[in-house]
Amino acid sequence: MNEFSYLFLFFLACSVSLKLWLNKRQTNHILRHRGQVPSDFEGKIELSAHQKAADYTVAKTYIATLSTLLSSAILIILTLGGGINILLSLVQTYVASELWAGVTLMLSVFIISHFIELPIEIYQTFKIEQKFGFNRTTTGQFIKDQLLQLALMLIIGSPLIYALLWVMGEMGNYWWLYAGVFTVSFTFFMTWLVPTIIAPLFNKFTPLEDEHLKSKIQHLFERCGFNSKGIYVMDGSRRSGHGNAYFTGIGNNKRIVFYDTLIESLNADEVEAVLAHELGHFKCKHVSRQMVVSSLMTLVAFAILGWLKQQNWFFDGLGAAQINNASALLLFLLITPIFSTFIHPISSYYQRKFEFEADAFASTMSKPEFLIQALVKLYRENASTLTPDPLYSSFHHSHPPAGVRIDHLKGLEKC
């Protein structure tokens, strides 16, 4: 233990208390407003649906609290509790190569942590989601998904970690620059690869077939000057009743994906409005701007790691008995989320700003009233709360609260 240990514990305690306090505020706020549908939504959302959303959100917030506490306990056991040291000496007795020992150590830490947290995921899927009528995953499907995730982690994770550890050891003083550029390129490659190779391992994607909807969308593309034939419907209903739409991929692999559950619940005008919103993110360059920012942050993170790797107090302070590249990378990855908690509100702020811009774009390409109708339906069907705690929402949510967003859309309707 040294001063850095106390600093680490202090930030961990601050980050955990902040999250728990916000969760508590969120729960209290929702329960206080459980008795009445907000006036903006009267007649559109029934009291029973509003109360279901309240109970569902409270249950999910409770799970989030459990998960925060458990992952903090795991973090302390791994670092100051000596968990990483025990694993490393175990790995070193079986794996002679230093590089492969590093890869094995890192993968075992990720896999063990995942298994410790698995009961929470099981509870969330088979208790909470089940209780509120969203779960459609069977035990067989759940196990299959877990094995597939594990296989992907080994297939993609091993060479990636191996390459990073190699760069750290072999590329001299500026290794962090090479490692940063490599990681950014790898991320771009994965973003390109995911829609066509990885995502289809989990779900079935079929090109949109509905002719009426398709021609509507084709016209929308022409109005927006957007070039893509990649509109797909995903069988989201295989696992869950939640509906959504998203934009994915880069370059010639970009796609717009609708969950089948969304297509079922919205009419053609509403789907068009949702799509116009998604295109807004593309047209306003939100996607590319987010990629630039995250690339820069990756480079900064590696520069910090480059400096920390040379500081003995960093290893001592986090309880590491051996100073090596794998420990440095692992410790850095484990503790970064604590410190990034405090910049989370900044990214939420920008994401909400982007949502307003995409809504404004959608209003010029479709009609605000259609987007409002779609949002109300999506809020009702996903049992999303209409009354989040304002502070909790501004900290965590990438989307503005329903009421705020709809008021903004109504303002656009007038002009």
The residues annotated with a catalytic role in the active site are 278, 359
**Pick 145 or 369: Cβ nearer Zn ion:** 369
Q: Where are the beta strands (DSSP E) in 185-283?
A: 205-207, 231-234, 245-248, 255-259
Report the C-alpha gap between 267 and 227 in whole angstroms. Answer: 24
Smallest separation, CB 133 to Zn ion (Å): 26
Of 61, 57, 37, nearest in space to 376 by CA: 37
DSSP H helical ranges for 284-389:
286-308, 312-317, 325-340, 344-365, 368-381
Q: Which two tokens stand for residue 241?
A: 């009743």
Q: How far is the CB of 283 from Zn ion (least distance, A)?
A: 12
Q: At residue 347, what is the residue type?
A: S
Least distance from Zn ion to the Cβ atom of residue 194, Å:
19
- Please state the closest distance from residue 243 (CB atom) to Zn ion, in A: 14
The residue (of 317 and 368) whose beta carbon lies closer to Zn ion is: 368
Residue numbers at the binding site for Zn ion (CB under 5 A): 355, 358
Q: Are strands 245-248 and 255-259 parallel, antiparallel or unpaired?
A: antiparallel
Q: How far is the CB of 277 from Zn ion (least distance, A)?
A: 6
- Token pair, residue 351, equals 């994401």
Take residue 194 and report the two structure tokens written for it: 């995911």
Return the HEC string of 140-200.
HHHHHHHHHHHHHHHHHHHHHHHHHHHHHHHCHHHHHHHHHHHHHHHHHHHHHHHHHHHHH
The C-alpha angle with vertex 112 and arms to 109 and 118, in degrees rounded to 5, equals: 135
Q: 202: closest CA among 144, 159, 281, 253?
A: 144
Q: Which is nearer to Zn ion, 75 or 386 (CB)?
A: 386
Q: Nearest approach, Cβ of 72 to Zn ion (angstroms)?
A: 31
Which amino acid is located at 259 in the chain? Y
- Closer residue to Zn ion (CB): 355 or 389: 355
Q: Which is nearer to Zn ion, 224 or 358 (CB)?
A: 358
Please report, as a single letter, which amino acid is at residue 125: T
Of residues 278 and 389, the one with the C-beta less far from Zn ion: 278
Q: Which is nearer to Zn ion, 270 or 355 (CB)?
A: 355
Cβ neighbors of 43 (< 8 A, separation 6 or more) are: none
DSSP string, 400-411: --HHHHHHHHHH
Per DSSP, the three-state class of 268 is helix
Q: How far is the CB of 355 from Zn ion (least distance, A)?
A: 5
